Amino acid sequence: MALFALAVYALGVGKGDLRNDSAVYGWIAKHMVVSGDYLNLYFDWGQKSYFNKPPLLFWLAAASFRVFGFEPLAARAVSVAFALGCVAVTYLLARKRFTPTVSATAGMVLAASFPFMRWAVGFRPDAGVAFFFLLCLLAGAGMLGSMRTRWRDWLLMGAAIGLGFMLKGPVVFTGPMIVAVTSAWLRRRDILFNPRWLAALLLALAIALPWHIQQYLRWGDEFIAAYFGREIASRFDGSSFKAEPIWGYAHELLLLYWPWLPFTLIGAWAMLKTRRARAAGPAWHAPPRDTTTALFTAWLLVYGLAIHLVTRKYDRYLLPWMPALAILAAIGLYRSPLRGVWRRWLLPNMGWVSVIAAVVLLAAGLRTGMVYMPEITDAAPVINAAVREAGPARTPPVVYLYENTHDDKDTRCTIMFSTEARCVPLKGGVGFTAVPPGQFVVVPVQWREKAERELPAHEVVTRGKRYVIYRVTG
């Protein structure tokens, strides 16, 4: 299972630049390293604050950049590490109820699920949120599986809540909520009303509260309105995010969750039918452990309800749910006619076969990532050389991005992450005549003729399908 997951993500993390939100996150982490300011987050070089996310993802990426340099691979490595952690914790959770072969199958299904893989190899916080969510469930499974709760489970719960909150706000609280619902269902008052919940909460606050206090002291109500209002509350009332139909996630799974969807349905039917396991029963499940089954059922129901309450149906919100679906798919696979082939031939050999295949494909130069802005990739050496040539004694050149109608912060962040230059917007009403000599201008191809008419003396640095990059020479 571990070899298979490593091979899958070694291919997926591949080449290609950062795009959209990943470019914004990459630039914010890069700015931390360049500026030395690890507390305040910025869209640009310190003029526009970024309040959309807590800082843990950026801290981890900044640490990766200090080791591996400002490369997209260094950023994606953070998300891939969280994804591999999700695969491992899924195995541990499945082992609370099922045999090692079923548990390993669940981990492999998760690693090879397209919705999970898609966001795991991109530089985003979602795989990390799923990881800390799963740690909360693992701590809860430890509590529910014993007559006396242990301190280590409560401390794991508190640490997972605090770190998860520092990654993407309150999403991680669905984990302890599921544990509480399961405790009430099983009438485990020793867990539901245990004073150690307070210890877990205090540990979570000790991790998450200092940075939030610092931000409030630094930015005041502006931070509260943006961070808790626009980014958290508005996801439920639809004021900032477009509402989508309640069946949005079913549509996503019907389109993307292949080939595992049929096995997931078989596994769900098997779980509904099987109330009690037989001691000498089928190989796909172990002797009964009702506490784990209850936790698993609450996981499916509570988290499923929570994500459907959010107005915007992003498929990345499914990531904490995907391990539960992977476990169902593993059950279904062992209930299907393919069980013998899978257990005898595929499962024992997929690890080493996947590693060999990954090595061969990477050695052959397989391109596994899309270059969002190849023009910037091609022009980066010229831009960086100009910045270095200016040195500390002169003002380095700036990249101007022509934005006719909208604020294209994603592209600006892609440019700043990929080069050593600053990038500022050049609005449509200003015109190209305002660009001083020695500066670079990135122009969408539809505005190429206007740029070449209005720009002072210039040269073309690179021309592509989406952008043309000029350097003003006089």
State both tokens at 10: 């070694």
**35-56 per-residue burial string, b: 16 or more CB within 10 A, e: under 16:** eeeeebbbbbeeeebbbbbbbb
Is 246 exposed, middle or buried, given 0-12, 13-18 or 19+ CB atoms closer than 10 A?
A: exposed
| Residue 5: closest CA among 110, 158, 138, 118 | 110
Is 384 exposed, middle or buried, given 0-12, 13-18 or 19+ CB atoms closer than 10 A?
A: middle
The pLDDT value recorded for residue 19 is: 80
The pLDDT value recorded for residue 69 is: 92
Phi, psi angle pair for 422, to nearest 5°: -80, 155
State both tokens at 117: 């893989």
Find out whether 167 and 132 touch, Cβ atoms under 8 Å.
yes
The pLDDT value recorded for residue 390 is: 81
Residue 213 neighbours by CB distance under 10 Å: 10
Residue 254 neighbours by CB distance under 10 Å: 11
The pLDDT value recorded for residue 191 is: 95
State both tokens at 381: 């050496």
Q: What is the mean pLDDT of each run of 10 residues along the chain (474 residues)?
A: 83 72 92 94 85 95 94 92 96 94 95 89 92 97 91 97 93 94 93 96 97 95 86 60 71 90 93 58 44 90 86 83 96 93 90 86 68 85 90 77 75 90 80 86 91 90 92 87
| Residue 62: closest CA among 89, 31, 40, 86 | 31
Task: Output DSSP code: residue 462.
Answer: E
Phi, psi angle pair for 425, to nearest 5°: -75, 145
- Global confidence as pTM: 0.91
Find out whether 26 and 77 touch, Cβ atoms under 8 Å.
no
